[in-house]
Chains A and B, each alone.
Chain A
Amino acid sequence: MKRLLLGAETIAQGAIDSGISGVYSYPGTPSTEITLYIQEFKVQENINVFCNWCTNEKTAMETALGMSYAGKRSLVSMKHVGLNVAADAFINSAITGINGGLVVAVADDPSMHSSQNEQDSRFYGHFAHIPIFEPSNQQEAYDMTRSAFRFSEKYKLPVLLRITTRLAHSRAIISTQAAEIQNNISFPLVREQFILLPSIARKQFRNLLLVQNSLKQEAVSSIYNQLHKAENSQLGVIACGIAINYLLEVCNGLPQNFDVLKLCQYPIPQSLVNELFERNDKILVLEDGYPFVEEKILGIVAHDKRVLGRLNGYVPPDGELQPNIVAKALAIESFSEHVETNSTHFPNRPPELCKGCGHIDMYTALRRIIDEYGDNHVFADIGCYTLGALSPYSAINTCVEMGASIPMAKGAADAGVFPAIAIIGDSTFTHSGMTGLLDAVNENAPITVIIADNAASAMTGGQNSAAHGKLKNICIGLGVEPDHIIETEPFPTKIDQLVALIKEEIEFKGTSVIILKRECVQTVLRKNKTEANQKHNIIF
């Protein structure tokens, strides 16, 4: 069957057709569409797959591991920085190994289109000693997802499926194959497999190391890795994942004068790379991400001048790979001509808070607090409210990673900063904010935590928030003094009251939480639309 799908969606379809029983994930650009697609598919086709959002990437990874323990297949998906959160479970899942097939789909974001860094997940896969699949296009993303589940069960290991923004968010037509049925429950053959006591873990880690050679052999014979030999090759090119597309684009098909190693399955197929080195004086490495392969083949002691790439300026050291960058690295001149462009610099148009968003009122009030108490007091977090960094609010001083706001405010308060205000969203709070709040409560740290509760993971498109309706009780449970848990609604007409309220809690010499409840305007609009449609359907 033919389907027009985003790269992210091809992974979802591949997982559905592989007979997964669950997809576990936390939303994050550019990975969100993987789970969204499965949720939608479940509604349309009535498949029996668990697909609700998890509280964070760590619980997602762990839940999938539990399903794998029970012999069924599961997909985990997240953005690259989510893998930092899931890392403990991820790394150790390589030591336990799996029972039912387990694929971890991670979408990296070179050029940081919607992220705070451009870390390359292949390093995590290597660190964990597990196979990495890196599809080059939409069809291959579907095919490799299906291969990854079989491979995972063949070697009893999780497989990392790594894509980048460009593939995740680009559509193409793919052909799908017949779906497999879901696995039945079956328990691990070795009873201790999932018990990582040191004595067992040592044994299993040795087994993991022993299997590496087989994984390398698999990569050599993989249909996804191919060495194309040119008759009189002047340069060997290693093109990883989507880099092969840019190479084929600028060379108008396979080049006649370069050897090309298309590399989409790791560990690095050593014998193919060796052959490339034997046949060529110089090797250019093209990868959409960090110089992962480049570093691996470079060697430390003899700084090999034969390898060209991001480390020596043949490819820019950061940012997304693009066709013109590849053309430049290969000195193909036909791609360097530009239309004369007007030299006038036009202002950028950064994203902004939507009209009618409750965060606007929160920041209007906060701006007045800052004007009174001075700058440098506001520790924010990841979400729409990060846009409070931009004009006209310029109201926040930090944004680092999910949950950092509260502990950073506490650390600053410990250092003597007054006031110390944390801003965190509802979904971010349950993702990674609760433990930080417990630290603050345990010392009654003089910080004011504002939870901007819009009842959704809004930045990624309004997914359900695990925190919904639970924030006050969570704060009580964590030990915040009930008198200092204040729930209110931010509105343009209530700015004065809001300013007074925040000031009062700032002046309180202990941990206080202000929950600002107002639903995301986008999710409200969508709900209204759906309701209107339903009404329409009833009438007609």
Chain B
Amino acid sequence: MNTNILLSGVGGQGILTIGAVFGMAAMLNNYHIKQAETHGMSQRGGEVVSHVRISDKPIYSDLIPHATADIILSVEPLESLRYLHFLKPNGWLITNDTPFRNIVAYPTQDVVFEAIKTVKNNRIVAADTLAKSLGNLKTSNIIMLGVASNYIELPYETLQQGIIEIFKKKGDKVVALNLKALDLGRESIL
């Protein structure tokens, strides 16, 4: 088992939570993990990226080498395009469809989606719409994680365990909501 996941999005969109779930999932199941994050200036409406590497063998580099990411998982469409050089041939580009427009030069949706579709394996997910159906827009990042679960080797139960552990201090309701979001994402593309 050896998975490289590149997470991307805009500061404040919940990438770090996705990373934390991966981290917890790995730790609970005795996998090796490295998870490199961007902090600091990028937190404020800027681009954010996190490299997540999970394996049953020791992991050397904190950074994913170019052309070896199994997945780019993005919670924002434009951000999904910034790191294509990390994606391996036949890797999956999975992104939320809702743009976060805080820059003047933000391209039109057509331009962004067309560029996404030039990647052979791509999934554009209406995660915000799905999240609204759960009554909580904040769950869209976990919905994206659920979608991604279809494309990574990590057993699904480990992600569920990760969610239980990460959200348990916020109470049973929050745990249940996020487990539901994970399922919804996972099943949304079946």
Contact = CB atoms under 8 A, between A and B. Distances in A.
Contacts of A299: none
A460 B27 contact: no
Given A352-B44, A352-B46, A384-B44, A391 B104 contact: yes
A459 B62 contact: no
B23 interface: yes
Listed from nearest, the 7 A-B pairs whose CB atoms lie closest are A114-B40, A29-B40, A351-B46, A249-B61, A170-B36, A347-B105, A323-B65
Interface of A: 2, 4, 6, 29-30, 33, 113-114, 166-167, 169-173, 242, 245-246, 248-250, 322-324, 327, 335, 337-342, 344, 346-354, 384, 387, 391, 459-461
B82 interface: yes
Interface stretch (B83-91, B123-131, B138-146): B83-91
Place the interface of chain B in its size category: 35 or more
A352 B102 contact: yes
A250 B32 CA distance: 18
Given A339-B84, A349-B102, A2 B46 contact: no
Q: Classify the interface of chain A: helix, strand, loop or mixed.
A: loop
A62 B122 CA distance: 55
A246 B61 contact: yes
Nearest to A252: B60
Contact of B66 (A2, A113, A172, A324): A324
Contact of B44 (A171, A173, A351): A351
B63 A322 contact: yes
B134 interface: no
B24 interface: yes
Q: Classify the interface of chain B: helix, strand, loop or mixed.
A: mixed
Contacts of B84: 339, 341-342
Interface string B1-31: 0000000001100000001000110110000
Given A341-B85, A459-B41, A349 B10 contact: yes
B43 interface: yes
Which of A171, A173, A346, A387 has its CB near the most chain B CB atoms (within 10 A)? A171
Contacts, number: 142
Contacts of A166: 36, 62-63
Contacts of B107: 346-347
Interface in B84-132: 84-85, 87-89, 91, 102-107, 111, 115, 118-119
Nearest to B111: A344
Given A172-B62, A323-B64, A348-B103, 11 more contacts: A2-B27, A6-B37, A33-B39, A169-B38, A249-B60, A339-B87, A346-B115, A349-B78, A351-B44, A352-B45, A353-B44
Which of B38, B62, B85 has its CB near the most chain A CB atoms (within 10 A)? B62
Contacts of B47: 348-349
A331 B120 CA distance: 29
Which of A4, A172, A340, A387 has its CB near the most chain B CB atoms (within 10 A)? A172
Given A170-B34, A245-B60, A351-B46, A335 B103 contact: no
Contacts of B152: none
Contact of A4 (B10, B24, B118): B24
Given A172-B34, A335-B66, A342-B115, A349 B45 contact: yes
Given A170-B35, A349-B78, A352-B102, A323 B42 contact: no
B65 A324 contact: yes
Contact of B40 (A4, A335, A460): A460
B70 interface: no
Contact of B65 (A335, A339, A341, A387): A335
Nearest to A115: B40
5 contacts: A113-B40, A170-B51, A351-B42, A387-B44, A459-B41
B42 A338 contact: no
A169 B36 contact: yes
Nearest to B59: A172
Which of A33, A346, A349 has its CB near the most chain B CB atoms (within 10 A)? A349
